[in-house]
Amino acid sequence: MKRWKLVSLLMVFVLTILAACGQETGSGESSEGNTSDGGGEAVTRHAIVFKSTGNPFGEKLMEGFENAIEEVEGEAILRAPEQPTVEGQIQIIEELISQQVASITIAANDYDGLEPVLKKAINKGIKVISVDSAVNGDSRMVHVNQADPEAIGRIQIQATSEMIGGKGQIAVLSATSQASNQNLWIEWMKKELEKPEYDKMELVEVAYGDDLRDKSVSETEALLQSYPDLKAIIAPTTVGIAAASKVITDKGLQGEVVVTGLGLPSEMAEYIENGVSPWMYLWNPIDLGYLAGRTADALVEEQITGAEGDTFEAGDLGSYEVVKTEDGTEVLLGDPFEFNKDNIDEWKDVY
């Protein structure tokens, strides 16, 4: 009995340690710190700090950033903490401040938590911008936003209209009914639908799959049962779009009901290849990183100050304008990136 107790306790102990280790080592390789000192006179050094290492989306974001910085003949410093914590990012930013980099681009782990350290950086003359996940307006000069809610909403209706020839019943399968992103996009979808060219398209229902596989499947099945003439399902969420596509695949409804929306390329590769979803959207992390790099350069070169109305050239992406938001200013990347049969192969392993 006693021995059993000991063994069992040990097992729990080991399991807990394993689980804890999982949290620590799950992120893979260490950060790519390019911390060469000296020689800082000739080239301008731009740093980017992502949320954590080993994140496929982050790797691509930093790749884009590096491309942009290399184009303007600067030096890119790519950093990320092992864990997605504020503490890890603060430590890295402190290091970057003492290295006297020209700019810091941050994908924040917390909206307000980085304010003291980022203000310190700004006071030292370092240009600070946020990308992907913003910091508050006081601790940044400008935010680079991947998603313009209006463009995201409108483009999904435009795509659906093209897929179904501009007429028929359509339905939306969202995440939860309280998800603010999705609700905003759906509002814009409805606004786009008011245009006369969509007169023959009817939005019959907005269903909520709660980003759960089983619920999203049930909701999709219910849509198909309730609306036998349904032509398209728009799912602006990864779990929803994949679940809806799976249902259409299993029921052999390819070509009768199309699925589009927003989803991870890896999850959607199967269904883009089998034709259930002719194409769908998500932001392109490389472009986002590239725009962030160009914005950082524009700030350092003093082409912009981060104030509303500033404009600058972002290399291959064209011209951008700084716009006002509720909290601070931002640059919008623009339309989301289209994933289709031709490019899904190269993206499905990326993220």
Contacts with other proteins by CB under 8 A lie at: 1, 4-5, 7-9, 11-12, 15-16, 18-23, 25-28, 54, 56, 176-177, 205, 207-208, 210, 213-215, 217-219, 221-223, 225-226, 228, 239, 242-243, 246, 250, 264, 266-267, 269-271, 273, 348
Residues 6+ apart with CB under 8 A from 303: 310, 312
Q: Which two tokens stand for residue 175?
A: 């995440």
Least distance between other proteins and beta carbon 229 (Å): 12
Of 26 and 255, the one with the shorter C-beta distance to other proteins is 26
Closest contact distance (angstroms) between CB of 28 and other proteins is 7
| C-beta closer to other proteins: residue 312 or 351 | 351
Backbone φ and ψ for 339, nearest 5 degrees, come out as -105, 125
Nearest distance from C-beta of residue 15 to other proteins, angstroms:
4
Cβ(231)–Cβ(203) below 8 Å: no
Least separation in angstroms between residue 190's CB and other proteins is 17
Closer to other proteins by Cβ: residue 3 or 42: 3
Q: Of 72 and 179, which has the nearer Cβ to other proteins?
A: 179
Q: Which residues, in sequence order, are CB contacts of 314 under 8 Å at separation 6+?
A: 68, 290, 291, 294, 295, 298, 320
How far is it, in rounded angstroms, from Cα 144 to Cα 288? Answer: 8
**What single-letter amino acid sits at 323?**
V
Per DSSP bridges, beta strands 230-235 and 168-174 are parallel
- Of residues 266 and 343, the one with the C-beta less far from other proteins: 266
**DSSP 8-state assignment for residue 73:** T
**CB nearer other proteins, residue 63 or residue 267:** 267
Residue type, 161: S
Whole-angstrom Cα distance, residue 43 to residue 282? 34
Q: CB of residue 176 vs other proteins: minimum separation in angstroms? A: 8
CB of 4 to other proteins, least distance (A): 4
CA pair distance 150, 144, nearest whole angstrom:
16
Nearer to other proteins, 84 or 293 (CB): 84
Q: Is 261 helix (H, G, I), strand (E, B) or coil?
A: strand
User: What CA–CA distance (Å, rounded) separates 178 from 131?
Assistant: 25
Residues 78 and 65 sit within 8 Å (Cβ to Cβ): yes
CB 106 within 8 A of CB 89: yes
Minimum Å gap between C-beta 25 and other proteins is 8
